[in-house]
Structure 1
Amino acid sequence: MTFSLLARCAETGAFGMVISSSSPAVAARCAHARAGVGVAATQNITDPALGPRLLDRLAGGDGAAEAMAAVVAGAAHVDYRQLMVVDGQGRVASHCGGRILGRWGIAEGEGVIAGGNLLAHEGVPAAMVEGFLGARGALGDRLIAALIAGRDAGGEAGPVHSAGLLMVDRESWPVAELRCDWSEEARPIEAVARAWAVYAPQMAAYVQRARDPREAPSYGVPGDE
């Protein structure tokens, strides 16, 4: 019911994640990231509490593998969960319980991990990693490339209806959190890609407005001078 990719940008230290699913509002439940700490996914039969727990372990000094082992050891119903995490060194870890739905898979690269369940075939995550590593541009551009690569490789076994992109950098809040929570036309990935194309050129300006609006660009709305 879900396919996703998590990554750390080796150049900037930013973290990001993209995800899509047949379920509504998938990014609201499954995508978790914390600036300077890491990024985590909790999917399949989702327990959203596990994402913050993974990030808390990373913040406390655990690496990806140690954080995953600790959270899995202390969580209920872990046979139903598919979990992934990337830490501040770009190390990755995953857990796939015995009750993961349908065809599922995990694929890893340097600073990146992808996974999914109820997939069209087990090679979808590998296609996402390849799409991410082969793409150029900023982290968001590469994340979108990975999401499209997953779609083009077959994606989920059935139609997807929601998708999202989440990124954190140096601020305590997400620098990008773009979502399509429901698409009747089963085109949420395209909606998120379009939103990124609009938002990406403005992202730095929004960050600057938070830091010091006196130094920020004009707002570009009627009445603004």
Structure 2
Amino acid sequence: MTFSIIARCTRTGQFGMAVSSSSPAVASRCAFARAGVGVVATQNITDPSLGPKGLELMAHGASAELCLQTLVEQTPYAAYRQLSVIDCQGQTAQWSGTATLGLHAMAKHINIACAGNMLANVSVPQIMLDAFLQSDETQELGQRLLIALKAGLAGGGEAGPVYSAGLVVVADQSWPLTDLRVDWDDAPIEKLQQIWDVWSCQMHDYTQRALAPAYSPSYGVPGDNG
């Protein structure tokens, strides 16, 4: 039902995830990241509680491998879960339980982990990983994640059509730098790219508005005289 990529940007230290699924509102259940800590993807027959639990483990010093091991050992239905984890050092760990749905596969590298279930073919995660590695490292992490997600779709994606997609990136603050979602659409990844194209030009301005509002750019909307 889902294919995803999580990554750490070595240039900025940002963490992020891009994900798409035939199910609605996939990112609300599957994508979890915390600045300076790491990122957790929880999917398949999803248990959203594993995302915050994993981040809390890593915030207290657990490596990606220890985080994953602990989640699997402490989860009563681990056989149904598919997990990917990256820690603050860029180390990666993954799990696909024996009850993972359909064709499923995973691929990982330092700073990157991709996974999918109910796939059109088992090469999709590796296709996404390769696309990320081949993307321009000077680009924003969000764009690189979208490049990989689109490559996964072009490489087969899910066995059936996808209807939702999401992109989450954390940088230096307690809130996400980017949290974009398409919860139901016939072309969710294309729509997500369109939203990103608008948001990416402004996202750092919104952080500045929070931290230094007197020096932040104007909103550029009717009634704003700043």
TM-score after normalising by structure 1? 0.98
The CA distance in 1 between the partners of 2:34 and 2:73, in whole Å, is 22
The CA distance in 2 between the partners of 1:156 and 1:197, in whole Å, is 25
2:177 corresponding residue in structure 1: 175
2:3 corresponding residue in structure 1: 3
Where does 1:147-166 land on structure 2 (aligned, <5 Å)? 147-166=149-168
The CA distance in 1 between the partners of 2:132 and 2:193, in whole Å, is 14
The CA distance in 1 between the partners of 2:74 and 2:147, in whole Å, is 35
Are 1:140 and 2:131 an aligned pair? no
Deviations 1:61-87 (A, max 9, x none): 010001100111001110000011100
Q: Secondary structure at the match of 2:156?
A: coil
Where does 1:95-106 land on structure 2 (aligned, <5 Å)? 95-106=95-106
The CA distance in 2 between the partners of 1:133 and 1:221, in whole Å, is 38
The CA distance in 1 between the partners of 2:133 and 2:198, in whole Å, is 23
Deviations 1:142-161 (A, max 9, x none): 01101101110000000000
The CA distance in 1 between the partners of 2:99 and 2:18, in whole Å, is 23
Where does 1:91-130 land on structure 2 (aligned, <5 Å)? 91-130=91-130
Q: Secondary structure at the match of 1:101?
A: coil
Q: Secondary structure at the match of 1:102?
A: coil
The CA distance in 1 between the partners of 2:62 and 2:109, in whole Å, is 20
Q: Secondary structure at the match of 1:149?
A: helix
1:46 corresponding residue in structure 2: 46
Per-residue deviation, 1:108: 1.0
Q: Secondary structure at the match of 2:121?
A: coil
The CA distance in 1 between the partners of 2:110 and 2:93, in whole Å, is 12
TM-score after normalising by structure 2? 0.98
2:75 corresponding residue in structure 1: 75
Q: Secondary structure at the match of 1:165?
A: strand
2:18 corresponding residue in structure 1: 18
Deviations 1:40-93 (A, max 9, x none): 011000000011111111001010001100111001110000011100000000
- What amino acid maps onto 1:152 in structure 2? A
- What amino acid maps onto 1:197 in structure 2? D
The percent of aligned pairs where both chains have the same amino acid is: 52
Are 1:57 and 2:52 an aligned pair? no
- What amino acid maps onto 1:57 in structure 2? L
**Structure 1: 5+ residue stretches without partners:** none
1:29 corresponding residue in structure 2: 29
Are 1:85 and 2:85 an aligned pair? yes
Per-residue deviation, 1:110: 2.4
The CA distance in 2 between the partners of 1:21 and 1:111, in whole Å, is 23
2:209 corresponding residue in structure 1: 209
- What amino acid maps onto 2:216 in structure 1? A
The CA distance in 1 between the partners of 2:204 and 2:49, in whole Å, is 31
Q: Secondary structure at the match of 1:27?
A: helix
Q: Which runs of 4+ in 1 moved over 6 A?
A: none
Q: Secondary structure at the match of 1:57?
A: helix
Per-residue deviation, 1:11: 1.0
- What amino acid maps onto 2:11 in structure 1? E
RMSD of aligned Cα (Å): 0.6
